[in-house]
A and B are shown apart, each in its own frame.
Chain A
Amino acid sequence: MKVNLIILFSLFCFISSPVQAKMDCLKCHPDIRKQLTSGNVHNPLKKRDCTVCHNIHASDEPNLLIEPTKDLCLSCHKKSFKAKYPHLPVTQGKCDKCHDPHASPYKALLKDAEDKICFGCHEKKELIIGKRLHPPLKKGCLSCHKAHGGEYPQLLGRPPEKLCLGCHQKTEISGSHNVPAIKGTACLSCHSAHSSKKPRLLREFAHKPYAKKQCGQCHILEGKKIKGIKTKTRSLCLKCHPMEKADASIYSHIQASPGTNVCLDCHSPHLSDKKPALKAPVRLLCFNCHQDTKKQLLSNSPDYKHKHPEVKKEACLECHGAHAGNHLYFFKDDVITVCTGCHKRHAKFTHPLGEKAIDPRCKKEMDCVSCHNPMGARGGYNTIFDYKKKLCIQCHKIET
């Protein structure tokens, strides 16, 4: 009896043993076999040791991986990816977004040519907006950006000004600017790092005083030389752009700022590529402060699975105000007005809303967000609860 048990136990170990699984997986996976001629082959595949990554029987992970992608890759590639500004696929553990785990004709097992990989996620039309290209672009995105993460915003490996000065001589810059252009000046407030329609990669739209060379409107001048700024706070901007109602509103964006002038958190005082004088696409500006919202939108959690299309496009200002308001959620108007602005059919045909329908859970008038969460929800149609099962019974008791 004891001998039989020992034999059975040994057989069990043998069957489970990865050693036994060094069989020719490529017999059934010819698509992987084809990749062997790609040029760069991942070591485990070279050694035909598929079980380094895959379980040949069963797994909770897709593609029968033995572990989640991130943990699996890091078990061998023990690089530290702890940058201050990590690349999103790295934080999400999606190494396979850029890298082919089997083989590739490209270095570092990239799935495609470097620039094609980047433009797979980063909209080319947002970056290449004109015929004039910054020469480093021809060398590839990694001439300035770090693929896994950088110590500076936008995944830069060096501070922006030092990066620029790496190629552009100080003397060349001082000569062509009327300002102390080196010390603390952000080159990118006037120049695009990628492309432009204008010479010297200047951004397209100009702040009026800048366009009319009326530097003295904002700056302290000594002759023709700029010595400083008249006022460091928002008072400077509000002189020409008064926003009387913004401070007298419940919610206001023109107050708190990590910097000294809140207006400059979003707007460029010189040149910009986006009207009205925005420094960057809206979503990037919003996410600078609303980090928790960004985290939620980028989350893979089933709680936020279904998102409104405008949210997916990160078009925050379709629903939310930019400067100030009195509506909850910083909406441009009351919820029903905002939603039915696009969902016109539901203005006429919908579950009772408003005064006719009081939410029994909170005794408040129902509106669209009583059931829907456009920022992300579990249920289809952005319903907070599954509309097939749980949504209605939140309020309607079932009579038995």
Chain B
Amino acid sequence: MKKICFAFSFLLSAFSFYFCGHAHAYLKGELLTVIYGEEETSGPFNQPRSIYIDQSKGKIYVIDTLNNRLVSYDKNYKFISRFDAEGRLDLPVSMLKDKKGHLIVTNRGEESVLVIHLKEKIIEPLDFSKVFPKPVPSYLAMDENGRLYVIDKAYKRILIFSDDYEFLGEIKEPRAAGFSDVKWSGNCLYVLDTLLKKVFIYNNQGNLIRSLEFKSLGFPVSLAVDKRGFIYILDAHEGKVYLFKDNEIIGEIGKKGWKEGKLYYPGYISIDNKNTLYVVDTGNNRIEVFKIK
């Protein structure tokens, strides 16, 4: 009898080890809230394409692209205001705030990046006169020194501007197919290539440190990097966020769908320093906020 019990326990342990050890542990992500463009406040979103988290002020900005506006929320996800730069925003896709509180917005419809001085009510386009060929600006990132990194979608490069918006140079990557997202984290620049399913990682000198390939992904469109240096990649077609340690999946969150907690052709992710993951659920016109544990 003792031998039978021992054998059963051994088999049970082996079963648990095999299946639990091999299955992707789900990211422990608790859905905190879902931000909709409510009728009473901002009106519905229309294909929001990204989000900006102002951690110093506890504000969240939704880049509501097809509505040509930015919509801001406080740290409790309550609507604050909407902003269209007096009609100047034309398909905004990305946004940042610099140290002086200026808004930097990629205005896709004008193929420009606007620097918006809110107090002075001045809007200036970023000077691309020294950039050749003429770029197609896309997503933005900023480092701790205020240097601005701009994806040029057409020519496989990242344009670098100083904290007072002088063009400093570019990171060219001929090995890439094209860049779809960029994030600055832990003194490194992380850049995602959707077609090649690769992340290129550069240091603050613009030198390539390494690249990681994620062959198992379907259609990766956005990435985020947490305090531990783990990479989160959003797969738009699968409707999932995958967590990677190096290029091994160690977790996933989400599922394709429409109900809260699910994602439908999502377009962008961002993570703050409290491990709160924001997913721009473009296909469902909303933002889903997850607490990652």
Interface residues of A (CB under 8 A from B): 233-235, 247-250, 252, 254-258, 260, 289-290, 292-293, 326, 328-329, 359, 361-364, 370, 394
Interface size on B, residues (CB 8 A): 43
Q: Tell me, in angstroms, the Cα distance from A20 to B194 when the chains sit together.
A: 58
Nearest opposing residue in chain A for B49, CB measure: A250
Residue of A nearest to B175 (CB): A258
Stretch at the interface among B6-14, B53-61, B118-126, B282-290: B282-290
Which listed residue, A255, A359, A364, A394, touches B153 by the CB 8 Å rule?
A255
Rounded to whole Å, the gap between the CB of A271 and the closest CB of chain B is 26
For this complex, 27 residue pairs linking A to B, each with C-beta atoms less than 8 Å apart, are A234-B154, A247-B111, A247-B136, A247-B154, A248-B109, A250-B66, A255-B153, A255-B178, A256-B178, A256-B179, A257-B195, A258-B177, A258-B195, A258-B196, A292-B218, A328-B265, A328-B282, A361-B258, A361-B260, A362-B258, A362-B259, A362-B264, A362-B281, A362-B285, A362-B286, A363-B36, A363-B285
Q: Out of B194, B237, B284, which one reaches A362, CB within 8 Å? A: B284
Closest chain-B Cβ to A99's Cβ sits at a distance in Å of 31
* B222 at interface by CB-CB < 8 Å: no
Query: Which of chain B's residues 244-281 have a Cβ closer than 8 Å to chain A?
Result: 257-260, 264-265, 281
B264 CB contacts on chain A under 8 angstroms: 362
Q: Contact partner of B44 among A250, A252, A363, CB < 8 A?
A: A363
A250 to B207, CA, bound (A): 30
| Cβ-defined contact, B136 with A233, below 8 A | no
Tell me if B's interface is mostly helix, strand, loop or mixed: loop
- Give CA–CA (A75, B258) in the complex, Å: 44
Name the one of B93, B111, B219 contacting A250, with C-beta atoms under 8 angstroms.
Answer: B93
**Do residues A361 and B153 form an inter-chain contact, with CB atoms below 8 A?**
no
- A364 vs B108: C-alpha distance in the bound complex, in angstroms? 24
A233 and B195 contacting across the interface, CB-CB below 8 Å: no
> Are A250 and B285 within 8 A (Cβ)?
no
Which chain B positions have C-beta within 8 A of A250? 47, 49, 65-66, 91, 93, 108
CB distance from A250 to the nearest CB of B (A): 6
Q: Check if B110 is an interface residue, CB within 8 A of chain A.
A: yes
Partner of B195, one of A254, A256, A260: A256
- Is B180's CB within 8 Å of the partner chain A? yes
Chain B residues, Cβ within 8 Å of A256: 153, 156, 177-180, 193-195
CB distance from B130 to the nearest CB of A (A): 17
Which residues in window 136-161 of B have CB below 8 A to A? 136, 153-156
- State which of A234, A248, A289 has its C-beta within 8 Å of the C-beta of B91: A248
B residues in contact with A290, CB < 8 Å: 219
What CA separation (Å) do A248 and B260 show in the bound complex?
A: 32
Contact B154 A364 (CB under 8 A): no
Q: Does B87 contact A (CB under 8 A)?
A: no
Min C-beta distance of A71 to chain B, whole Å? 21
Q: How far is the CA of A81 from the CA of B195 in the complex (A)?
A: 26
Q: Tell me which of A234, A252, A260, A292 has the highest count of chain B C-beta atoms within 10 A of its own C-beta.
A: A292
Is B133 part of the contact surface with A, judged by Cβ < 8 Å?
Answer: yes
Chain A nearest CB, measured from B32 CB (Å)? 17
Contacts of B237 in A (CB 8 A): 292-293
Q: Are B284 and A255 in contact (CB under 8 A)?
A: no
Chain A residues with Cβ below 8 Å from B65 are 250
List of A residues within 8 angstroms of B219 by Cβ? 290, 292
B1 to chain A, nearest CB (A): 23
